[in-house]
Amino acid sequence: MTVVHTEQLSKTYRSGIVRRSEVNALRNVSLEVGSGEIFGLLGPNGAGKTTFVKILLNVSFPTLGSATILNEPLGSINIRKRSGYLPENHRYPNFLTGLETLMMFGRIHGLDPRTLKDKAVSLLQTVGLKDWAHHKIKKYSKGMLQRLGLAQALLNDPEILFLDEPTDGVDPVGRKEIRDLLRDLRNQGKTIFLNSHILSEVELISDRVAILNKGEVIKVGTVDSITRKEDEYEFHLADDVSSDVLSQIKQVYGQVEQDGKLLRVIAQSSEQMNKVIDFLRSKNILIQSIVHRKSTLEESFIELIKAEQA
Amino acid sequence: MRSALGVIRYTTLEAIRKGTLIAYFIIGTLIILVFLLGIRLSPEDGTSMEFFGNKVATREIMGLDLVNFWLLQLYGSASGAIMLFGLFGTAGMIPSFVEKGTAELFLSKPLSRASLFISRFTGAVGGISLNIVFFTIGMWLVFGIKLGVWNWGFLASAFFTSYIFACFFSVAVLSGIITQSTAVAIIMGFAFSLFSGILETRELVLYKAWDNAIFHRTLDVLYYITPQLDAMKNSAGTLIGTLEIPAARRLANIPESFTILPFVYSTLSATALYSLSIWYFKRKDY
Ligand SMILES: Nc1ncnc2c1ncn2[C@@H]1O[C@H](COP(=O)(O)OP(=O)(O)O)[C@@H](O)[C@H]1O
Ligand SMILES: [Mg+2]
C-alpha cells in the first residue's frame, strides 16, 4: 500500500514587494512511499527537504502539484490526526516540563486526557528522558529536546512518522538509540519518512532513499541500488599471488590490482567475476572471501550532486 | 473541540508561567486592598467618605451622588490602564505562536487554522478578562461593604471592558500576524489607542485643523471602520453614573444614557479585522 504519493509537487517561495525574488524550493517532485518502509529523503542544505515535509503536513502550501497521504488528499485534517511530526529546529515552550509538554501537545492533538498520562510517561521512558520528566525543558540539551520531540511525535500512535533531521545535535550513543527505536517502530508496521543530510546514518536504516538537489529528485531507489558499483570485487586470498599468475589474469581481464593477498578485479559482469574464480581455483589458489565492494552512500551522493552541477 | 480547548489551556498556562497573568492579579489585589483598608464612611456624620482618614467627599452635593462619580472615575482610569497592560501582556502571543520552530508544532496538529487562531485569541483575551472580572468584583464588593453603595453598572463594566479590550486587540493581532513582530504589534496597538481617542473628538479638534469636506468625511469613515474604543467606554460608563453637567458631557463626548450603537459599529469593524487576520493566517506558509 502506498502511504505517501506526491505528483509533480512544486513550491516557489516569493518574497519582497519591491525587489521580487523567487526560490524554487521544489520542482515537480513525484515520490511514492510504501507502507512499513523507512524512507530517507537526502540532500544538501537548501535542497527542499524541509519544504517537502512541511507541505505534506499543512505547514506550507504547494504552488503546483498534488499529493495524497494515507489516501487522504493534501490538507485533510485526517492526515494530521494519523501522522507524527518532528520538525526541524523545533522550539518547545520552555516554560513547561517534559511531561507537561507531552500532556499539552497530546491534548492539542485531541487525545483523551485520561489515557494520555500513561502514554506520555511510557514514551519518556522509551526515549530515555524518564528522569527528566519533571524538569523544565529550559534545562534540556539539544539532544534531549530532540528525544522529547520524538516522543511528542509518537503520542498519537501515528501510522506515519515524519522526522526532519531527527539526530541533529544528538550524541553517537543517542543516535544509535534513535536508530534502534526507528527500526522497532518499523517492525511495528509504522512508515517512517526521514529527512537528513547525514548520509551515513540514513544508509544504516533506510529501506529506500531519494536524493533531492535544488528541489529536484535526482535519484530514487534502495540504498544498495544507489551505492553499488556494479563491477568491483575484492578477492581475499590465502596467499600472495605470484606475478606470473597476476599477469595471466591481467591478460584476460584487464583491470586487476594487487595489494598483497588482496586482488581487486573490475569485472564486466558476474559471469566474468566467476571466470576469475574459476581461473584462481584452477591455479589452486585458496579464496577466503569475495567482497562486492560498494561505495558509501556519501560517495555516490557527492558524485550525483557533482554530475548534476556539471 | 478537544484540540481547541487544548490550545486555550496552553495559552492560559503560558500567561501564568511567564508571569503576566500573576503580576496583573497581584497589582489588582494590591489596589483592592488599598481601597479596602483606606476607604470608609466618616464616623462623624455617617455620610461623607474618607480615604485613610481624609475627608474626600460628602455623599451628596446638589443631588449628585459623589460615590458613583468616584466609581466612574475609577472605571475611567482603570479601563485605560487595562488596555495598556492588556496590550503589553498579550501582544506577543500571536507573533510568538507563528515563530519558526513553534508554528510547525501547532499547524501540524489536527485542527483547522481558523480554530487554531480563534482558540489562541480566546486564551489571550480570556486571561485579561479574568483579571478584569476579578478586579471589578473586588472593587464592587469594597464599595458595597464599606460604603453601602452597590453599583450594578460598575459590576457590569467588567463585561464591557473585556469586550472593549477584545475589539481593541484586533489591531495588535492583525499587525502581529503579518509582521510576526511583538514590537510592531505593541506599537500599532498603542498608536491605535491614541488615534481612536483623537478620532472620537474629531469634530472638536481635527475638523478645525483643516476645513475641508473630503478630509472631514475621511475622518468619519476611519472612525466608523475602526473599533470605537472611547465611545464604547463612555456609553458603558453611563451605567455607573452620569455627568450631570451637559457642557462637560459634550466636551468629553459622553452620551446622556447608554447607547448600543458604538458596540454595533465596533463589533463589525473588529470582526472585519479578525477575519482579515484569519484570512491571512490560513494562506501563509510557515
Ligand atoms: N519561508 C521561506 N521563504 C523563502 N524561502 C524559503 C522559505 N523556506 C525555505 N526557503 C528556501 O527554500 C529552499 C529549500 O529550503 P529547505 O526546504 O529548508 O531545505 P532543506 O531542508 O533541504 O535544507 C532554500 O533555498 C530556502 O532558502
Ligand atoms: Mg531542512
Residue A228: predicted pLDDT: 62
Q: Give, in order, the Cα–Cα distances in Å from A165 to each of A134, A195, A196, A229, B266.
A: 26, 5, 5, 28, 47
Confirm whether A2-214 and A229-296 share one CATH topology. no
Most confident range, picked from A71-75, B220-224, B243-247: A71-75
At CA B91, angle to CA B87 and CA B92, rounded to 5? 145
Q: Which ligand is nearest to the CA of A54?
A: 1
Please say whether the beta carbons of B122 and B129 come within 8 A: no
pLDDT for B211: 83
Cα separation of B184 and B190, whole Å? 10
Nearest alpha-carbon partner for A69 in A59, A54, A60, A82: A82
Query: ipTM of this model?
Result: 0.88
Instruction: Spell out which residues of chain B touch residue A96, defining contact as CB-CB under 8 Å.
Output: 13, 17
CATH superfamily of the domain spanning A2-214: P-loop containing nucleotide triphosphate hydrolases (3.40.50.300)
Q: Are strands A287-294 and A208-213 parallel, antiparallel or unpaired?
A: unpaired
**Grid cell digits, residue A141:** 540539551
What pLDDT does residue A225 have? 81
% of chain A exceeding 90 in pLDDT:
59
Integer Cα distance of B206 and A230 in angstroms: 84
Ligand closest to CA A168: 2
Contacts of B9 (CB under 8 A, 6+ apart): A104, A107, B123
**Which has the minimum average pLDDT: A62-76, A289-303, B17-31, B143-157?**
A289-303
Q: Would you call A125 an interface residue with chain B, using a CB distance cutoff of 8 Å?
A: no
User: Pick from B9, B102, B106: which is nearest to A107 by CB?
Assistant: B9
Ligand nearest, relative to CA of residue A42: 1
Give the mean model confidence (pLDDT) for residues A190-194.
95
Backbone angles phi, psi at A291, to 5 degrees: -115, 125
Interface contact B17, partner A, CB < 8 A: yes
A107 touching chain B per CB within 8 A: yes
For B30-69, give one letter per residue: b (16+ CB within 10 A) or e. Answer: ebbeebbeebebeeeeeeebbeeeeeebebeeeeebbbbb
- Of the candidate ranges A192-196, A217-221, A274-278, B161-165, the one whose mean pLDDT is the lowest: A274-278
Cβ-defined contact of B110 to A109 (cutoff 8 Å): yes
Report how far apart, in Å, the C-alpha atoms of B91 and of each of A93, B83, B185, B223 are.
17, 11, 6, 23
Q: Which residues are CB-contacts of A269 (< 8 A; sequence separation ≥ 6)?
A: A231
pLDDT band for position A76 (50/70/90)? very high
Q: What angle do CA B50, B51, B55 make, to 5 degrees?
A: 40
Helices B229-237, B152-179: axis angle to 10 degrees equals: 170
Q: What CATH number belongs to A229-296?
A: 3.30.70.100
CA of A215 to the centre of ligand 2 (A): 12
Residue B195 identity (one-letter amino acid)? F
Q: Which of A51, A195, A212 to mutate to test the pocket of ligand 1 (most atoms within 8 A of CB)?
A: A51
Q: Please tell me if the CB atom of residue A160 comes closer than 6 angstroms to any atom of ligand 1.
A: no
Residues of B in contact with A105 (CB under 8 A): 6, 105, 109
Ligand 2 centroid distance, CA of A88 (Å): 6
SS3 A112: coil
pLDDT digits (tens, 9 = 90+) for A127-137: 999 999 999 99
Nearest to A38 by CA among A228, A178, A227: A178
| Annotated domain spans of chain A | 2-214, 229-296
The closest CB to that of B103, out of A59, A96, A104, belongs to A59
- This prediction's pTM: 0.87
Residue A105 contacts B, CB cutoff 8 Å: yes
Q: What is the pLDDT of residues A238-272, one digit of tens each?
A: 888 888 888 888 777 767 888 888 888 877 777 88
When pLDDT is cut at 50, 70 and 90, the band that residue B57 belongs to is low
Q: Which of B10, B17, B100 sits opposite A108 (nearest CB)?
A: B10
Residue A37 has pLDDT above 90, yes or no: yes
Phi-psi region of A267 (alpha: psi -120 to 50; beta: other; left: phi over 0): beta
Average pLDDT value for chain A: 89
**Could you say which of B100, B101, B109 has the minimum Cβ distance to residue A80?**
B109
Distance A169 CA to ligand 2 centre (A): 14
pLDDT of residue B43: 80
Residue A87 touches partner B, C-beta closer than 8 Å: yes
Residue spans per domain, chain B: 4-283
A180-190 confidence digits (pLDDT tens): 999 999 999 99
